[in-house]
A and B are shown apart, each in its own frame.
Chain A
Amino acid sequence: MSKLLTISPSPHVHTSDSVNKIMYRVLLALVPALAWSFFMFGFEAIRVTLIAVAACVAFEYLIQKFIMKEIPQITDGSAALTGILLAFNVPASLPTWMIIVGALVAIGVGKLSFGGLGNNPFNPALVGRVFLLISFPVHMTSWPVTQHAAVDALTTATPLALLKEGVKAGQPVSEIMTALPSNLNLLYGNMSGSLGEISAMFLLLGFGYMLWKKVITWHIPVFVLGTIFVFQGALWMLNPENFIEPLFHLLTGGAMLGAIFMATDMVTSPMTVKGQLIFGVGIGVITVLIRNFGAYPEGISFAILIMNGFTPLINAYIKPKRFGGTK
């Protein structure tokens, strides 16, 4: 025969979906929140984002090529995604060299030291962020004032930090709340904070897009946010003087960003819906505990990292429902 036929095991057709498409869709889903942060923090936000993305991609390339001696896989979009998520998790005023150090830790330690995409037990961007938070706590918790704030100051505190300080000082919650932005402002993101976490609305927009494109399922974000709402709601009902209303906790800090974009990281979250329920509830509970009783005003990054650590265990014990299995 003049030309050889191809032989391969079935199936012979394949979905048009690919890892690259998934990564690029997540990136696209981050665009609205990114645009909002550019609007709120101006040039500084652009600087942080560009440096974080460039550093992550560069480190991925260099480490894969020269240390791991593999063909670099930077086009799959995962390094760029880590870069954007890292940028989303730091203040816009962070010095350039710190961002680069964070990127090195995120890519080098968080991802490639475990073997690269798919093998990392922890979300790389969060590893980078927590490293920065612990190493440079001052820089990581001084938040630049947004461009459109009427306050005449260089830095300000996030709503969560204001709340924490107030509670520590023994003020009742109702009194602190007068100094906090309204829920509406929190929703569209007129507050201070890390680059990407401020606007709940635009993050939800990205969530909608990812659901539409079937990049992720609704389970983990709903489990995480639902748990925060219910748990905080219970505390609030018990003692409204010490605990703030639950909606505040959903809209502030990294709750939305974490629940929608970080906890849903496929590599580090459980495979089955039941496992995702445990995972999501765990994140929600730990977040509320840290926020209310811990030293840090914000706790979702720690919560996600802790539950990331449990993921292999969850995967090993929670098996999907089997067809014809014993009930």
Chain B
Amino acid sequence: MSDTIIYTMIALSAIGILAAVILYLVAQKFKVYEDPRIDEVENALPGANCGGCGYAGCRAFAEACVKESELSSLFCPVGGNDCMGGVADILGLEAIAQDPKIAVVRCNGTCDHRPKTNQYDGATSCAVASSLYAGDTGCQFGCLGHGDCVAACDFDAIHMNQETGLPEVVDDKCVACGACVEACPKTLIELRKRGPKDRKIYVSCRNEDKGGVAKKSCEVACIGCSKCFKVCPFDAITMNNNLAFIDSDKCKLCRKCVVECPTNAIIEVGFPPRKVKTDLPPKPAIKKEVPKKAEGKSSEDIKPDNLEKK
């Protein structure tokens, strides 16, 4: 009996040793040299594999970093400057600091601002809806509200607001990877400079129709009147196809344009409330937390009227 045990043990050990030797030899033979820095760089990266850098995952980005001789064209939006500093240290290169960015939805066509002209009943996907037609409102540039951007976000940083029917970016969670920018078939989402204290001013509209047409389809559309363009002291605003655009790199957040806009298409976020001047019609300064409540109220107020009209 004990013989059997001993023979078995010897045989199995022999097989084990043999296999180990073979494995070692094969591993040596087919060894692929890999720059050890790739692993180091990869470890320094956030590991979100979001593709925000333009590469297929963090590993690919790390390989690209090691290959390049300078880091100017490479940036990890998720890790930001700290992370890129770490990468630069590993590689002995210089990190080029970039301003942190954030995704901004440039449409303010809420249910109140932009009356529906039809009822969409197809697959719940912005891509499908936009391949079918212009949208369920008079505005062919506006948000379709089916949440392709929400589905694209790996960071839970963008949500649909059921009341307004528009997506909202959670400032603290957004890492500016750009997935939502890619996902939006109406190219409504832009990566803008994250201003100090998350303050930002932007034209919340992409409507390129002529003023009258735009205004008719949406109350808060940019009508291309150029007033903001004229008032801007920093040349941050450009006019194109009946549409104003504020360059976030040039904008100094002076808020002059916000007051000037006749349709409230320019939105300021994150500022303390203004003192309301008595001689001017009150402009609702949209604060970060306020819009939900304010709009919630207004929509409730308006709804019964709408029903009566129907």
Contact = CB atoms under 8 A, between A and B. Distances in A.
The reply, when asked whether chain A contacts chain B directly with Cβ atoms under 8 A, is: yes
Interface of A: 1-9
Nearest to B135: A7
B128 A7 contact: no
Contacts of B136: 7
A4 B117 contact: yes
Interface string B81-123: 0000000000000000000000000000000000011111111
B310 A8 contact: no
Given A1-B117, A4-B116, 18 more contacts: A2-B310, A5-B118, A5-B119, A6-B118, A6-B120, A6-B121, A7-B118, A7-B119, A7-B121, A7-B122, A7-B132, A7-B133, A7-B136, A8-B121, A8-B122, A9-B123, A9-B128, A9-B132
Contacts of A7: 118-122, 132-133, 136
A3 B307 CA distance: 11
25 contacts: A2-B310, A3-B310, A4-B116, A4-B117, A4-B118, A4-B119, A5-B118, A5-B119, A6-B118, A6-B119, A6-B120, A6-B121, A7-B118, A7-B120, A7-B121, A7-B122, A7-B133, A7-B136, A8-B120, A8-B121, A8-B122, A8-B132, A9-B122, A9-B128, A9-B132
Contacts of B122: 7-9
A4 B122 CA distance: 15
Nearest to A1: B117
A12 to B, nearest CB: 10
Interface string B166-180: 000000000000000
Contacts of A2: 310
Contacts, number: 29
A296 B119 CA distance: 60
Contacts of A3: 310
B307 to A, nearest CB: 12
Interface of B: 116-123, 128, 132-133, 136, 310
A4 B117 CA distance: 6
Nearest to B131: A9
User: 9 closest pairs, A vs B, by CB?
Assistant: A8-B121, A8-B122, A6-B119, A7-B118, A9-B122, A4-B119, A9-B132, A6-B121, A5-B118
Contacts of B310: 2-3
A96 B132 CA distance: 55
Q: Name the prevailing secondary structure of the A interface residues.
A: loop
A214 to B, nearest CB: 26
B154 to A, nearest CB: 20
B123 to A, nearest CB: 8
A309 to B, nearest CB: 29
Contacts of A9: 122-123, 128, 132
A3 B117 CA distance: 9
Nearest to B116: A4
A7 B119 CA distance: 6
Nearest to A5: B118
Nearest to A2: B310
A27 B215 CA distance: 58
Nearest to B128: A9
A1 B132 CA distance: 22
Contacts of A4: 116-119
A5 B136 CA distance: 10
Contacts of B116: 4
User: Which of A1, A3, A5, A8 has the largest count of B CB atoms less than 10 A from its CB?
Assistant: A8
B216 to A, nearest CB: 14
A4 B118 CA distance: 5
Contacts of B120: 6-8
Contacts of A8: 120-122, 132
A54 B305 CA distance: 50
A5 B133 CA distance: 14
A8 to B, nearest CB: 4
B116 to A, nearest CB: 6
B241 to A, nearest CB: 26
B7 to A, nearest CB: 30
Nearest to A7: B118
A2 B117 CA distance: 10
B142 to A, nearest CB: 15
A1 B309 CA distance: 11
A7 B134 CA distance: 11
Contacts of B128: 9
Contacts of A6: 118-121
A3 B119 CA distance: 10
User: Which of A5, A6, A9 has the largest count of B CB atoms less than 10 A from its CB?
Assistant: A9
Nearest to B310: A2
A14 to B, nearest CB: 12
A161 B123 CA distance: 54
